[in-house]
Chain A
């Protein structure tokens, strides 16, 4: 039986009517897996569109085609952030996500950078490696033949080279850097402004190595498509990620709430938003080359809400929905359900205000500037709303009786090394 579906934002009175129709945990985790499958599938389609736009640009570089490729990248950042809520509770996703969304990156690993970027750092000897400019490289004392830039070179040799996390050679943000270039405007207006001629072949080529740059962009885009294709498969019927949450529905519910809370609090509110504000660093924003950060944050927040409301609006406007987590909470604690629903709406609204302000001309990097009171207010309001809803998610763990399950194997309590037993 399909329970009544609640529209987003419906009043708690309806929730009181739900217990008799409450979904079972098995149905709810099934919905969850279907939302994930749809969101990754949309991310994959958008990455394929990006790949087409990139190929079109590389086959005949022009300002218009560069703009089209950038627009395709921005469009790809609508569905993907809505998948991030699936990350923290699911090891299949968490172990993989660095391939597609690693950030921050030392972009000098990939291509030429402005002199103000500096060179190698204490943390990263390869921070200015410049693969595009150097067919022969030395990594960790070993000579590396980079004469051909291939997906395998990026995946197996360059990404995370020397064990340094900011050596990000692949994923959305590597592609973003290749399309936009560095944002050298500091807190001032404007995103990265890489000239289309960085990909022009022959005499028009700017900044050298245009063929190698094209090969890099092509390889990174291909990897992104391949990686998303793999993850979409993991959530399909028979896939490992779907199996992990459906095999034990109680554990699946734990994964759902853990993903909501960890993305909301430690990751989005903490690492991505509050930290940027406290460091006042214009490049401490996730989509720093394109200035698309407010959109990515907004869709992250929407993804959290999606999981609770059991509903995802696909890129084509169709809706995936089913028995929802909300019903389970409402069945045991209607007041808590009302609290969570209201807080989710508030956090999405606060993230929406940041997005709207950016669309109105107040760029995210300007919001981060020391002394920008309006930017600080907007970002702090979103951070507070995200932190606030996390407290309610903790209450949901109690209400659902998931205390013993939610964090099993999820914190960093690695099994003790046998050597020391």
Chain B
């Protein structure tokens, strides 16, 4: 049991840091950039993707021994599409304002490479327990990334965080950050920063 727990933990941690889907694997970029105009949108998109990831990872891991390998991809896509439809209907029913902002990008999650990638690379080869851990880790890593990009763009682009004005009068927000170029710029700079950090920590390890 203890061994299992350690496995669970390592599967969980991997998605957040070492294999962060957005910054390290560069998967699922479209929703990451398109909807992250505010922190709220970023978190909502991240949580929606996490739900779909967990649901599809559980089902795919359960059916992994019954699906012939030639038709596995269409089967996985069907499972994912079902969960995406569930998320879409729930959002439309209970959070119509949020759905109006995210729009078709919720639907587009069907072809999000993170979800299909985890189904193919992990859930189709591992048992349910570990697949859940993997889905959780990847989902949280994705949510952290969308949240971070959303927060940066919201603060610089509209001078607010979660709709609350910050530092009123001290700076003028730069509109460009909430327009499309701002998204590309933010993710590029965050990636460069992470690369630099990694290079520095490697150099420090070598010096020791």
Do A and B pair up? The answer is no
